[in-house]
């Protein structure tokens, strides 16, 4: 068996998945409509009578520097951001919580109360899981969760649905999750390098790190020829990775205008403080949407009415054209960034004692 090396930290690469994981996914089942693939947020399994079940999984967060409420927000909304790329709200959730041994009962009760409240606000029932404290568990990743929805098969979108000619939209801006966590974890460093206004902006980004509202609003315009054809939320590798992944999953090429990629000066300043580019770091909060070309403005308007800015950054093309980004009138290849540099920068800052 050919083995591709693990990254130092963060998500394994698509090459690793292709070599090690995807060829070994248990039994083949005819009802599995959408299984594991690069850039695909949800599995889809067909049920009788024209319905399907969609499901996704992601890590649970417990980050001391953020706090219990913010960690619970990430736990719930990273899952919700994935499942709502189907265009359908989450219905059920399960959580496997592997907790550090020094987490008190009172702190767990507070954390779990927030998980409950965020799920309740989404209309999502928690239907099971596993909870325990374990020696040696010191990671900010405290297990994993799963969200599930059931809908008519024709109503479930995936990131594979984009078509040549579709416009590509990006909501909010690049680097939201990474920048906001850096701002909340290392406030003294950022205030000294960038000023208090930039720090305040970065910290305020945190509660924009969900794309659930954007995804559910976008599909109100319609699906397929009437509106949205595919959605993909930006996580590891940021908006850059999400753009390439959606195009690849859809079997398309992509042409993006670099000048239209939404990035704030404040987020860019915070990212630069840690040697990072907001375009290619954990970007939860930004949603990439493929939409029928004559419906793009309608989707932008619907999102704007919800207070969610969206920018038309380019279009899907024929697969043979590949993925490219245009800067100053010159097109160059747009590739997947591979390893997300955020993780290395974050842990290096911790080791250096930055505050």
Task: Based on the fold, state whether residues 187 and 304 are members of the same structural domain.
Answer: yes
Which CA distances in Å does 218 have to 74, 83, 163, 265?
22, 14, 17, 26
Strand spans (E) along 91-249: 92-99, 125-133, 141-152, 167-171, 228-233
Predicted local distance difference test score (pLDDT) of residue 173: 98
d(Cα 167, Cα 162) in Å, to the nearest integer?
A: 9
Predicted local distance difference test score (pLDDT) of residue 40: 92
Q: How many CB atoms lie within 10 A of CB 317?
A: 18
Predicted local distance difference test score (pLDDT) of residue 9: 65
Task: Based on the fold, state whether residues 197 and 219 are members of the same structural domain.
Answer: yes
Whichever domain contains 76, its CATH number is: 3.30.1330.10
- Residue 334 inside a domain? The answer is yes
pTM for the model stands at: 0.94
d(Cα 290, Cα 165) in Å, to the nearest integer?
A: 9
Task: Based on the fold, state whether residues 199 and 143 are members of the same structural domain.
Answer: no
Task: Based on the fold, state whether residues 240 and 315 are members of the same structural domain.
Answer: yes
Predicted local distance difference test score (pLDDT) of residue 3: 61
Predicted local distance difference test score (pLDDT) of residue 66: 86
First to last CA, the chain: 44
* Domain of residue 55, residue span: 31-155
Task: Based on the fold, state whether residues 252 and 145 are members of the same structural domain.
Answer: no
| Contact call for residues 306 and 178 (beta carbons, < 8 A) | no
Task: Based on the fold, state whether residues 216 and 190 are members of the same structural domain.
Answer: yes
SS3 of residue 144 by DSSP: strand
d(Cα 333, Cα 217) in Å, to the nearest integer?
A: 32
Whichever domain contains 323, its CATH number is: 3.90.650.10
**Phi and psi (nearest 5°) for 329?**
80, 0
As averages over each run of 10 residues, the pLDDT of the chain (355 residues) reads 65 83 94 92 96 97 90 96 98 96 94 98 97 85 94 97 98 97 95 97 95 98 97 96 96 97 97 97 97 98 98 98 96 92 91 91
- Residue 5 inside a domain? The answer is no
Q: How far is CA 260 from the centre of its chain?
A: 20
Predicted local distance difference test score (pLDDT) of residue 154: 95
**Phi and psi (nearest 5°) for 113?**
-60, -40
Task: Based on the fold, state whether residues 245 and 313 are members of the same structural domain.
Answer: yes
């Amino acid at each position: 068996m050919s083995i591709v090396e693990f990254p130092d930290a963060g998500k394994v690469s698509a090459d690793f998945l292709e070599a090690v994981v995807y060829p070994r996914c248990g039994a083949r089942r005819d009802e599995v409509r959408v299984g594991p693939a690069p850039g695909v947020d949800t599995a889809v399994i067909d049920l009788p009578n024209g319905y399907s079940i969609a499901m996704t999984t992601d890590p649970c967060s417990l980050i001391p520097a953020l706090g219990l409420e913010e960690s619970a927000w990430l736990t719930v909304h990273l899952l919700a951001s994935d499942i709502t790329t189907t265009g359908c709200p989450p219905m059920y959730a399960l959580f496997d919580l592997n907790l550090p041994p020094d987490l008190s009962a009172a702190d767990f009760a507070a954390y779990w109360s927030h998980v409950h409240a965020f799920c309740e606000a989404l209309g999502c029932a928690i239907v099971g899981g596993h909870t325990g404290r374990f020696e040696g568990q010191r990671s900010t990743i405290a297990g994993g969760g799963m969200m599930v929805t059931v809908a008519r098969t024709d109503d479930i979108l995936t990131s594979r649905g984009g078509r040549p000619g579709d416009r590509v939209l990006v909501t909010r801006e690049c680097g939201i999750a990474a920048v906001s966590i850096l701002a909340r974890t290392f406030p003294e460093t950022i205030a000294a390098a960038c000023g208090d206004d930039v720090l305040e902006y970065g910290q305020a980004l945190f509660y924009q790190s969900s794309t659930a509202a954007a995804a559910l609003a976008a599909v109100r315009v319609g699906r397929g020829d009437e509106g949205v054809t595919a959605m993909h939320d930006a996580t590891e590798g940021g908006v850059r990775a999400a753009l390439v992944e959606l195009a690849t999953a859809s079997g398309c090429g992509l042409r993006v205008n670099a000048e239209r990629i939404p990035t704030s000066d404040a987020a860019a300043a915070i990212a630069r403080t840690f040697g990072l580019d907001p375009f290619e770091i954990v970007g939860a909060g930004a949603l990439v949407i493929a939409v029928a070309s004559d419906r793009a403005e309608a989707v932008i308007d619907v999102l704007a009415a919800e207070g969610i800015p969206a920018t038309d950054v380019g279009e899907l093309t024929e697969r043979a054209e590949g993925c490219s980004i245009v800067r100053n009138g010159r097109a160059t290849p747009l590739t997947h960034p591979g390893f997300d540099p955020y993780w290395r920068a974050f842990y290096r800052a911790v080791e250096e004692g930055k505050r």
